[in-house]
Structure 1
């Protein structure tokens, strides 16, 4: 009588599943250790106060001030997006070692961490935890919440992601008027390009690697290019342009279609006296310039 092969086959399947259960998390931890550290923040010794986790080295007397700054940043998100949808956990570190653990970097005053399953975190250095930094990082999380992790990582160019976050960050330009904001970003862009002589095209800063891999001057020029383009786009899109962009993207349009579709002809006519955006010149115009 032949043995029934089904149990042996089922056993092999169970072994494969068990191996995957171990290998996939292990691989993710190796590639993205900051995600796992953030997910386990509740077991880290950080002190929880609402949605904010404070390093054990931060004195409780500082909690109220830091939470107030977080609340002000949330108000900026709410105003800019006409309603806030995201609720990231905030992790405030007291030293570079902690910051690197949760950000996988020693650079910058803050970073944002999002996951495909919907959890999100804003990680901050206590020394750099100011309103602009927090609003900038929360801006990344809000976009992630509205269009999804997959679209942000696979469809959204980094210049747009950073440029939109800059609209919530007033460290470089602090002008609430759409046209005025564009003009001020153009001034910054002119400075970093040496009067328009050393341009970074948008497609040269479309990926995270291209945007951040370079010296400080390269990164600052990438930021100013992103800020100039997105501020120009918002001026031509009007108060409902960002909402229209998100809706069209979620309805299946490509980034290029949704981005172009947000701009309005009447606003293009209204702002016709604005200096032209040099990042939108055709190749022939660039040569003639």
Structure 2
């Protein structure tokens, strides 16, 4: 009887701790909670893996689906298929985006497994940028890359005209200032530096695109990611 009572008490304590942990997550990290349970935040399923705020007119629902499909195609075409299968949470109003934990960004990859898009991010470029982060990390399988490479690759895959020339050498004229060693390596450093100088995205994309062009294009990037996931070191991309 005493042993049974102890097990009951232990179970009750664990239940309380799990409930408290869930409450803390919802309050402190609503984006994590939202991607875990989109319906809990009022989002409805438009199609497998795509959620949006309810009550959208048919034209807006169609727009969301088309944007996600175009973005997925860009990622598939670059990587030659998909490994990751992230959910995409789409908000067409600022209130919705704030409710699921979004900020002033257009879009964000959450835990490298899901993507949230703000009203300003319902666009194939923004969506494919964030989906590239998820796909890259799914393929890396725990291996690390410098944050500038992560961001530069996302710009390249998304074909972002803000940071890439339309053809030939994809580097913009003012994106050749810094060698890779000068670009931020950690996420915290990148966020701090890029918020002060958005040209860092163009610089990172310049380095990645030139390395890819010199070494065999998209296939070179896929091979690099495979080698990194197998434990090989990140190469020197300077020059």
Q: Give the TM-score band, short-chain normalised.
A: 0.7 to 0.9
Q: Which residue of 2 aligns with 1:222?
A: 200
Aligned to 2:149: 160
**Partner of 1:272 in structure 2?**
none
TM-score (norm 1): 0.69
1:109 corresponding residue in structure 2: 106
| SS of residue paired to 1:75 | helix
Please show how residues 137-216 of structure 1 align to structure 2 within 5 Å.
137-148=130-141, 150-151=142-143, 155-169=144-158, 170-172=160-162, 173-175=164-166, 177=168, 180-181=169-170, 184-185=171-172, 187-190=173-176, 196=177, 199=178, 202=181, 205-214=184-193, 216=195
Cα distance, 1:33 vs structure 2: 2.4
Match for residue 56 of structure 1? 54
Q: 1:156 to 1:16 in 2, by over 3 A?
A: farther
Distance, in Å, in 2 between the alignment partners of 1:214 and 1:97 is 28
SS of the equivalent of 1:58 reads coil
Shift of 1:12: 7.3
List gaps (5 residues or longer) in structure 2.
none
Q: CA deviation at 1:6?
A: 6.5
- 1:134 lines up with 2:127 in the alignment: yes
Deviation at 1:237, TM superposition (A): 2.4
- Structure 2 length-normalised TM: 0.81
Match of 1:45 in 2: 42
CA contact (8 A) 2:97 2:118 kept: yes
Q: Assess if the C-alpha contact under 8 Å between 1:139 and 1:168 holds in 2.
A: yes
* Structure 1 CA distance for aligned equivalents of residues 55 and 174 of structure 2: 38
Deviation at 1:108, TM superposition (A): 2.4
Residue 231 of structure 2 is aligned to residue 233 of structure 1: no
Q: Which has the larger radius of gyration?
A: 1
> In 1, distance between residues paired with 2:86 and 2:167?
26
Distance in 2, matches of 1:48 and 1:189, equals: 40
Counting matched residue pairs gives 235
Deviations 1:77-118 (A, max 9, x none): 11100112222222211222322333431x222111136xxx
Please give the alpha-carbon distance, in whole angstroms, between the structure 1 residues aligned to 2:137 and 2:57.
32
Higher relative contact order (CA 8 A, sep 6+): 2
- Residues 75, 25 of structure 1: alpha-carbon distance in 2 compared, 3 angstrom cutoff: same
Provide the alpha-carbon RMSD of the alignment.
3.0
Q: 1:125 aligns with which of 90, 94, 118?
A: 118
State how far apart, in whole Å, the 2-side matches of 1:201 and 1:146 are: 22
| Number of the residue aligned with 2:72 | 74
